[in-house]
Amino acid sequence: MEEQVGLAWHRLVNRLALRRYPAAAVTLSSLTREAGLLYRALGGDDGIALQAGAASLHGAERSWLEKLAGSGRKADLAWVDPQALRLPPQIDAYPEARLNHDLYLWLAALCAQDPQPQAPWFNRNQAAARAIIQHFPGLAALYQRLVVAEIARRPDAARMDADGAKQERAIRAALLCPGSVTHLPSARHPPHPVLLWLRPAAPQLAAPMTEKPAPDPVSGASAPQTDAVRRQAERAESIEEPGGLLLFRPESIFSWSEYAKIQHETQENDDADLAQAADDLDVIALARDQRSIAKKLRMTLDLAAASGDDHVLAGTQLQPEWDYRSQSLKPDRCRINLLPHADAAPCALPAHLRRDQQRLQRQFSALLPLPQRLKAQADGSDLDLDAYIRHHGQPGAADARFYLDQRKRERDLACLLLADLSLSTEAWAGDGLRVIDVIRDSLFLFSEALSVTRDRFALYGFSSQQRSNVRFHTLKAFDQPYNDLVRGRINEISPAYYTRMGAAIRQATQILGRQNASERLLLLLTDGKPNDADHYEGRYGIEDTRKALIAARLVGLRPFCVTVDQQAHEYLPHIFGKDNFIIIHKPSHLPARLPLLYAQLTR
Amino acid sequence: MPKEIPAYTPNADEIEVFQLAYQNRLPVLIKGPTGCGKTRFVEHMAARLGRPLYTVSCHDDLSASDLVGRHLIDSSGTYWNDGPLTQALRHGGICYLDEVVEARKDTTVVLHALSDDRRILPIDRTGEILAAPPEFMLVVSYNPGYQHLLKGLKPSTRQRFISLAFDFPSPALEAEIVVAETRIDLGRAKQLVMLAQALRRTADHDLEEAPGTRLIVDAAKLMVSGCRAQTACRVAIIECLSDDPEISRALMVVVAAIFAE
């Protein structure tokens, strides 16, 4: 009873305090494409992704109802950092959906046109708004509509104290006529958040953390919850003092916290609780050895990439890595660990794939080398009219070779299939299958199909544990026959660690580059974007992978990516180029689609 | 034959370079994105130098005999018919091969003997060896796009030519060109150029190919005839760049940012 009354009260005050319009809400996912393209078109960096950003605390004075309801402490604002353009996951601040939609476009434009990024928040936003209004008449009209709505939404200056009112009036004047106000009067509270402006300060870059050996990520085939919102996070050293020292005031966890050591290694809470706790915390302090929490929840933390380590690796199988921050290719940055998979027990094709295999073999036998017409032959089945005319046009010419002949042509093709075996493939792909099962089945059917066409092919898999250990599994080399031993190896693939894509692609490029064929196809099969347990994440990984692929193209290979990541259109065009990838929307379709895709690619 | 010289606004010193190449009997290779004025430049130069122009748009089925010539049959028997390259040689004209990388590989072999100091065209079907007159000039063009990395020119071919790299004109110059071509007012021409520049920034990511000057000139022509700006941009620019309705819609957001209704 007590609980029900509490719940009813909570709902009531929340509804009264709410200055939002859920009925008119517009989500970021509904206009990712528009906002992203507008951002790039107006001069934004095309290497960065468009992502949802977490709400930030604004610290401004709230109405008494909001205080009562405990709401309105956070505001959804936009910002750009080196990794991504961050826009609110949902906008419902204005009563009309059209205005909420326009706010997204305005924010994307604002992030792209930022002439004074170093200026104070107040001046910087005015300068950016003025630049847009001057250059883009269409956006200027949109801005006028938004300003009217924003001023209507803002708290009444008459109800504030004198300083607060002065501040509020300055902001309104700056909104109405950007660039007209140079100084923001100070007040007891920070100003009420301005939804039309960028977030006052982007998350700070963290000091590098002391390296400790990272533990193996949690295993266990639980379905990770996907959570697209970037959370505010800051790095903190793991505190390893013995004894039960309380590092936080327990009563404050769910309300206001700057630092909390979430010791979740015991895994007592179920995942729903973890997600709720993450939403309630304002800043997630993250210590090195707890990274697995993020992995388990699959939430992305707002961490600036730590500056890299520089120790030199020894060994024979070394690959370089591209560092976009210094725009340089660092030699011998990654060590490839070739894993031969010698101990796999031979096995036959799994029974559930038999029907698909028969169908594919039928389809692929149609791909067998087509007979080619050879012109100007001494004898043949058809007349070569062109040769005949030439013969008559040159009466002196002696050769009477004017027949067409059919001759079988050999397919001259080599294909290397590189499969992502990182731990993220442990996730469920629907229909009771994990991504890794889908990849395994794809490898089986792909091999079955190719053994019909007699095209040369090789199968490799990769995963990585930082740059010193890029694990490269040989499932089938070019010179090995496809038999039960290879099937046994495919059968035993299992997910592990992370996805250092660039190094694996460079290794595959070397192997495929040694093949002598007129067409060489490098097929990458993956479920996500490049990442590893160090600075290899976000933009760093994407730029490195892109460089590795450009290098592959330069030696004459043709890279193509097949992915089951539904968000891949955010970053794959940048890595692979517009037409060189395909997103499989239902992962369970992949095993059947992959061989057909291959047929299209090599036609 | 005093024909009107097609208008061309130079970007840099390409006119002087072309004239010097002509005087020194050197072949010229022009590379640059689609619609940046390569063809117009060659037309302009041919008229300026007073030479007839033989333009061949290359495609993937174009073979050497399409350039050199072939035997044809009529009621009186077979006869030899000169191809455009041979005609240009016989008449001392300029032969322009547009998008030369698209042509079949055997065509470049024909060009080799013509583009070095021998300047001859052996026609093996008739046994004739044609020497190029001093007025003859070979000009080829291609578009080195990111997607066409595999379809580049062979170095052995490329190194025979004087190379001119074209790019889109600077914004001010491009606006001038749009005004000169269409008589549109400078304000709207500048907006169109701004749109083109915004779209070009997205080229690698969202579009296959950046929009050329030709597209915005087309849009300007429609606007001068009274078409609404957003409609003109949609039909003359956006729909020409993408067949994907989702991308077209996103591109129209950029149009709407620049042209208020």
Bridge partners of residue A50, in order along the sequence: A85
**B202/A393 touch (CB, cutoff 8 Å), yes or no:** no
Lookup: tokens for A183: 């100084």
CA distance B49 to chain A (A): 37
> Which residues on chain B are in Cβ contact (under 8 Å) with A392?
71, 77-78
pLDDT tier, B145 (very low <50, low <70, confident <90, very high otherwise): low
- Judgement on whether residues A389 and A451 belong to the same structural domain of the protein: no
Token pair recorded at residue A492:
């035993």
Chain B closest CA to A36's CA: distance in Å?
9
A86-124 burial string, b = 16+ CB within 10 Å, else e?
Answer: bbbbbbbbbeeeebbbbbbbbbbbbbbbbeeeeeebbbb
Residues A276 and A353 in one domain: no
Q: Which residues contact A241 (CB under 8 A, 6 or more apart)?
A: none
C-alpha–C-alpha distance, residues B256 and A60, integer Å: 35
Q: Is residue A56 part of a domain?
A: yes
Look up the CATH number of the domain holding residue A596. Answer: 3.40.50.410
Give the pLDDT confidence score for residue A351 in this predicted structure. 82
Nearest chain A residue to B257 by CA distance is A138
Residues A382 and A426 in one domain: no
**One domain for residues A517 and A579:** yes
Chain A interface mutation, best of B66, B68, B78, highest count of A Cβ atoms under 10 Å: B78
Predicted local distance difference test score (pLDDT) of residue A331: 83
**Arithmetic mean of pLDDT over chain B:** 88
Q: How far is CA B19 from the centre of its chain?
A: 18
- Say yes or no: A127 and A263 in one domain: no
- Are A483 and A511 contained in the same domain? yes
- Measure the CA–CA gap between A228 and A89, rounded to whole angstroms: 9
Do A11 and A112 belong together in one domain?
yes
Does A208 map to a domain? no
Q: How far apart are CA B176 and CA A325, in angstroms?
A: 38
HSE of B77, CA atoms in CB hemisphere, 13 A: 8
Q: For residues A416 and A403, state if they share a domain.
A: no
pLDDT of residue A327: 82
What pLDDT is stored for residue B62 in this prediction? 84
In this structure, which amino acid lies at residue A254? F
Taking the C-alpha atoms of residue A594 and residue A562, their distance in angstroms, rounded to an integer, is 8
Query: What pLDDT was estimated at residue A52?
Result: 79
Using the beta-carbon criterion (under 8 Å), do A578 and B194 form an inter-chain contact?
Answer: no
Res A294: pLDDT? 43
Of A34, A42, A137, the CB nearest to B250: A34
Residue B24 has pLDDT above 90, yes or no: yes
Q: Tell whether A92 and A123 lie within a shared domain.
A: yes
Angstrom distance (rounded) from CA A545 to CA A524? 12
- pLDDT over 70, % of chain B: 95
Nearest-angstrom CA–CA distance, A458 and A418 = 9
**Residue that finishes a domain, picked among A356, A386, A407:** A407
Rounded Cα–Cα distance for residues A353 and A157 (Å): 70
Question: Are residues A347 and A485 in contact, defined by beta-carbon separation less than 8 angstroms?
Answer: no
Pick from A138, A553, A577: CB nearest B260: A138
Chain B environment of A394 (Cβ under 8 Å): 71, 125-127
Domain boundaries, chain B: 14-165, 171-258
Q: Does the pLDDT of residue B215 top 80, yes or no?
A: yes
Structural class in CATH, domain B14-165: alpha beta
Over its C-alpha atoms, chain B yields an Rg (Å, rounded) of 21
Residue A178: count other Cβ atoms within 10 Å of its Cβ: 23
- How many Å apart are CA B138 and CA B123, to the nearest integer? 17
DSSP string, A134-161: HH-HHHHHHHHHHHHHHHHHSPPGGGS-
Q: Does this complex have an ipTM over 0.85? A: no
Domain stop point among A176, A203, A218:
A176
Q: pLDDT tens for residues B78-92?
A: 788 999 999 999 999
Residue B49 backbone phi and psi in degrees, to 5: -85, -5
Q: Which of A304, A326, A324 is nearest to A232 (CA)?
A: A304
Angle between helices B171-182 and B213-224 (to 10 degrees): 40
Query: What pLDDT, on a 0 to 100 scale, did the predictor assign at position B251?
Result: 92
CB contact under 8 A, B250 and A392: no
Asked whether the predicted pLDDT for residue B151 surpasses 70, the reply is: no
- Alpha-carbon distances of A427 from A296, A298, A472, rounded to whole Å: 10, 10, 21
Residues of chain A with pLDDT under 70: 13-18, 61, 64-72, 202-315, 341-342, 366-372, 394-399, 408-410, 429-431, 603
DSSP H or E segment with residue A333: strand A328-339
**Three-state DSSP class for B36?**
coil
Residue of B nearest to A574 (CA): B205
3-state secondary structure of A233: strand
Shared domain check, A416 and A402: no
Per-residue pLDDT reduced to its tens digit, B247-261: 899 999 999 999 987
Q: For residue A357, which phi and psi values (nearest 5 degrees)?
A: -65, -45
Exposed/middle/buried for A328, CB within 10 Å: 0-12, 13-18, 19+?
exposed
Is there a contact between A13 and A69 (Cβ–Cβ < 8 Å)?
Answer: yes
Total count of domains within chain A: 4
**Beta-strand pair A581-583/B28-31:** unpaired
Cβ contact B219:B233 at 8 Å: yes
What residues make up the domain containing A294? 227-239+247-302
